């Protein structure tokens, strides 16, 4: 018997019909989509695990907040409520709403990164890397070695490699590092958490060398829940207390609110106390996002976001949320399917390199397995591997990722235990015919963030 399913701490009062196409229709749809799952219509998808970003189910409190949203251009009550809530949760003085996480990156990096400077992170998310490069910077990942070993169970596989960070700073020169970014949880490493100790030690190094320390806070609540479960000394602290401590070490944070804040659109950019930097943030927000008191969002979005910030901290909800992912992991353990283990916060990152050892990194095993999951059961997932990583910006050569994952990202409060079982059954069925699965080649790609738009074709011998 695997892990017991944690029952939903809610009941369902509004439903959305989904259906599965026939196997022949699925073959046709994925070919028409040029084997890029971003090109599929959602109505042709049965279970959509492409991302947990913005795909969350809002609560009745959030939906009633939508009706109360103040749509004033300047100084609206929804804006003021959001600022007050965020200040209370994170203890940062300056809070700027933006339309999503990458908008926060665009606004911030132009202010803290100069051309030719480096950004060092435990791992840059794909849009984070893109925005570093767009302002002429270079992104270096500095994650602990165990993150790259999917079979190795460690409590905080998302951590920064502290020794490597310090030696990189010494080697490159502190004045060449514009920012150090801590991504919590570490999305690209499989939603793996970062310990409070690791955040504190990273902050100490940043302080020692006078480098900005930024938290990429998309999954702040899931990270806090893992800390409570796994880090000594935090067992009896509340999620809110852990969040306060984690953020006390940062100078600023960017946040995609489409994740742990359980809304469909939104983002935040916060500066702890540097008023001068915040002035630049406000100036850039007005250029790119809109006036500072709406930041690219409607008043109703600001209202739902303010409510979601608090709802996302509920421990009963987080127990169910993380428990649902752990249940899926338990079923894969029983079937001997390798994944980034232990299970991360927002999904399962199946080790496609392990399931499809005959497909080399430049034929994209993570993408091949994602395509297979759609063909098998109408499940939409994505590659987190060499296909997503793309080409070296200097040489144009295909980069080799540290791992080849197929990510099953679980939307919050959306799918039930029966759906989770379908995901496990589909992976088990594919495992049985794994040697027949083919690799893919890219037939067209754009210069940056190519995985969203590229066309692919199966490699036929
Ligand atoms: C989603 C995400 C982003 C980008 O946010 P968007 O809202 O998609 O623009 C940045 N960093 C991390 C860790 C993320 O998960």
pLDDT for residue 408: 98
pLDDT for residue 448: 81
6 C-alpha to center of ligand 1: Å? 27
> In terms of domains, do 45 and 113 share one?
no
User: Residue 173: inside a domain, yes or no?
Assistant: yes
Average pLDDT, integer, range 102-116: 97
Boundary-marking domain end, from 249, 280, 311: 311
pLDDT for residue 210: 98
Residue whose entry in the numeric block shows the structure tokens 């001068």:
276
Residue 222 has pLDDT above 70, yes or no: yes
> In terms of domains, do 274 and 333 share one?
no
Query: Mutate which of 52, 125, 143, 382 to test ligand 1's pocket (most atoms within 8 Å of Cβ)?
Result: 125
- Return d(Cα 311, Cα 299) in angstroms, integer: 19
- pLDDT-above-70 percentage for the chain: 100
- Return d(Cα 82, Cα 5) in angstroms, integer: 34
Residue 436 has pLDDT above 90, yes or no: yes
Query: Mutate which of 101, 262, 344 to test ligand 1's pocket (most atoms within 8 Å of Cβ)?
Result: 101
User: Residue 445: inside a domain, yes or no?
Assistant: yes
- Return d(Cα 450, Cα 66) in angstroms, integer: 35
> In terms of domains, do 341 and 304 share one?
no
> In terms of domains, do 160 and 88 share one?
yes
- Return d(Cα 20, Cα 43) in angstroms, integer: 9
- Phi/psi at 208 (nearest 5 deg)? -55, -40
User: Residue 132: inside a domain, yes or no?
Assistant: yes
> In terms of domains, do 383 and 265 share one?
no
- Phi/psi at 333 (nearest 5 deg)? -60, -45
> In terms of domains, do 185 and 41 share one?
no
User: Residue 447: inside a domain, yes or no?
Assistant: yes
Residue 240 has pLDDT above 70, yes or no: yes
Contact in structure between 335 and 427 (CB atoms under 8 Å): yes
382 C-alpha to center of ligand 1: Å? 15
pLDDT for residue 188: 87
Active site residues per annotation: 73, 125-126, 216, 218, 259, 451
Query: Which CATH number is 147's domain given?
Result: 3.40.640.10
User: 284-325, pLDDT tens digit by residue?
Assistant: 999 999 999 999 999 999 999 999 999 999 999 999 999 999
> In terms of domains, do 240 and 328 share one?
no
Query: Which CATH number is 445's domain given?
Result: 3.90.1150.10
- Return d(Cα 351, Cα 361) in angstroms, integer: 12
**Please, which residues bridge with residue 380 across strands?**
48
User: Residue 122: inside a domain, yes or no?
Assistant: yes
**Please, which residues bridge with residue 182 across strands?**
215
pLDDT for residue 225: 98
> In terms of domains, do 189 and 235 share one?
yes
Residue 1 binned pLDDT confidence (cut-offs 50, 70, 90): low
The two three-digit tokens of residue 183, written as one number? 């991504």
> In terms of domains, do 298 and 219 share one?
yes
Boundary-marking domain end, from 311, 326, 353: 311
Residue 449 has pLDDT above 90, yes or no: no
User: Residue 12: inside a domain, yes or no?
Assistant: no
Find, among 306, 292, 277, 309, the residue nearest to 97 by Cα: 292
pTM (two decimals): 0.95
User: 388-435, pLDDT tens digit by residue?
Assistant: 989 888 898 999 998 999 999 999 999 999 999 999 999 999 999 999
- Return d(Cα 265, Cα 261) in angstroms, integer: 10
Average pLDDT, the chain: 96
User: 292-302, pLDDT tens digit by residue?
Assistant: 999 999 999 99
Average pLDDT, integer, range 74-88: 98
- Return d(Cα 159, Cα 435) in angstroms, integer: 34
127 C-alpha to center of ligand 1: Å? 7
User: Residue 10: inside a domain, yes or no?
Assistant: no
- Give the sign of the dihedral formed by CA 121, CA 206, CA 244, CA 302: negative
Pocket of ligand 1 (CB under 6 A): 53, 100-102, 125, 127-128, 183, 187, 216, 218, 256, 258-259, 267
pLDDT for residue 137: 96
Residue whose entry in the numeric block shows the structure tokens 């200040």:
87
Q: Which residue has the higher pLDDT, 28 or 448?
A: 28
> In terms of domains, do 165 and 287 share one?
yes
Rg of the chain over Cα atoms, rounded to whole angstroms, equals 21
- Return d(Cα 98, Cα 262) in angstroms, integer: 16
Q: How many residues does the chain have?
A: 461
* Residue 391 structural domain: 23-52+314-458
23 C-alpha to center of ligand 1: Å? 33
SS3 of the chain: the string is CCCCCCCCCCCCCCCCCCCCCCHHHHHHHHHHCCCCHHHCCHHHCCEECCCCCCCCCCCHHHHHHHHHCCCCCCCCHHHHHHHHHHHHHHCCCEEEEECCHHHHHHHHHHHHCCCCCEEEECCCCHHHHHHHHHCCCEEEECECHHHHCCCCCCCCCCCECHHHHHHHHHHHCHHHEEEEEEECCECCCCCECCCHHHHHHHHHHHHHHCCEEEEECCCHHHHHHHHHHHCCCCCCCCHHHHHHHHHHCCCEEEEECCCCCCCCCCEEEEECCCHHHHHHHHHHHHHHCCCCCCCCCCHHHHHHHHHHHHHCCCHHHHHHHHHHHHHHHHHHHHHCCCECCCCCCCEEEEEHHHHCCCCCHHHCHHHHHHHHHHHHHCEECEEECHHHHCECCCCCCECCCCCCEEEEECCCCCCCHHHHHHHHHHHHHHHHCHHHCCCEEEEECCCCCHHHCCEEEECCC
Boundary-marking domain end, from 289, 311, 333: 311
- Contacts within 8 Å (CB) and 24+ apart, 205-211: 205/162, 205/165, 205/166, 205/169, 205/180, 206/180, 206/251, 209/169, 209/174, 209/177, 210/174, 211/169, 211/174, 211/177, 211/178, 211/179, 211/180
Q: Which atom of ligand 1 is nearest to the CA of 185?
A: 13
Q: How many domains does the chain have?
A: 2
Residue 166 binned pLDDT confidence (cut-offs 50, 70, 90): very high
User: Residue 161: inside a domain, yes or no?
Assistant: yes
> In terms of domains, do 436 and 412 share one?
yes
Find, among 18, 40, 47, 12, the residue nearest to 328 by Cα: 47
> In terms of domains, do 135 and 89 share one?
yes
pLDDT for residue 394: 86
- Return d(Cα 205, Cα 207) in angstroms, integer: 5
């Amino acid at each position: 018997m695997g892990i017991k399913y944690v029952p939903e701490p809610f009941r369902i009062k509004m439903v959305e019909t989904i259906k599965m196409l026939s196997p022949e229709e699925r073959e046709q749809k994925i070919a028409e989509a040029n084997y890029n799952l971003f090109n599929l219509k959602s109505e042709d998808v049965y279970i959509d695990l492409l991302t947990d970003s913005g795909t969350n189910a809002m609560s009745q409190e959030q939906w009633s907040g939508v009706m109360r949203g103040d749509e004033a251009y300047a100084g609206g009550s929804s804006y003021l409520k959001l600022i007050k809530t965020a200040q209370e949760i994170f203890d940062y003085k300056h809070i700027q709403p933006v339309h999503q996480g990458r908008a926060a990156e665009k606004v911030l990096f132009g202010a803290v990164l100069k051309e030719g400077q480096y950004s060092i992170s435990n791992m840059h998310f794909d849009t984070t890397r893109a925005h570093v490069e767009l302002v002429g910077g270079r992104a270096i990942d500095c994650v602990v070695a165990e993150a790259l070993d999917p079979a190795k169970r460690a409590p905080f596989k998302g951590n920064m490699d502290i020794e490597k960070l310090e030696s990189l700073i010494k080697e490159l020169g502190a004045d060449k590092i514009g920012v150090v970014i801590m991504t919590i949880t570490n999305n690209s490493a499989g939603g793996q958490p970062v310990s409070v100790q690791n955040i504190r030690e990273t902050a100490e190094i940043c302080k020692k060398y006078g480098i900005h320390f930024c938290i990429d806070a998309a999954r702040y609540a899931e990270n806090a829940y893992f800390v409570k479960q796994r880090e000594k000394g935090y067992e009896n602290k509340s999620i809110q207390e852990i969040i306060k401590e984690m953020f006390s070490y940062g100078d600023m944070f960017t946040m995609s609110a489409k994740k742990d804040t359980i809304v469909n659109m939104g983002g935040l950019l916060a500066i702890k106390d540097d008023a001068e930097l915040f002035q630049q943030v406000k100036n850039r927000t007005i250029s790119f996002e809109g006036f500072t008191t709406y930041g690219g969002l409607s008043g109703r979005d600001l209202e739902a976001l303010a409510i979601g910030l608090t709802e996302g901290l509920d421990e009963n909800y987080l127990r169910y949320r993380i428990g649902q992912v752990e249940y899926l992991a338990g079923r894969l353990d029983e079937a001997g399917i390798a994944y980034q283990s232990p299970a991360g916060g927002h999904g399962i990152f199946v080790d496609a390199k392990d399931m499809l050892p005959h497909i080399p990194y430049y034929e994209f095993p993570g993408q091949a397995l994602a395509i297979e999951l759609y063909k098998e059961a109408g499940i939409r997932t994505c590659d987190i591997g060499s296909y997503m990583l793309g080409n070296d910006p200097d040489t144009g050569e295909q980069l080799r990722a540290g791992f080849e994952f197929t990510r099953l990202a679980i939307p919050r409060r959306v799918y039930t235990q029966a759906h989770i079982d379908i995901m496990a059954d589909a992976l088990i069925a594919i495992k049985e015919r794994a040697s027949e699965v083919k690799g893919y080649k890219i037939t067209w790609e754009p210069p940056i963030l190519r995985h969203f738009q590229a066309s692919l074709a199966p490699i036929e011998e």
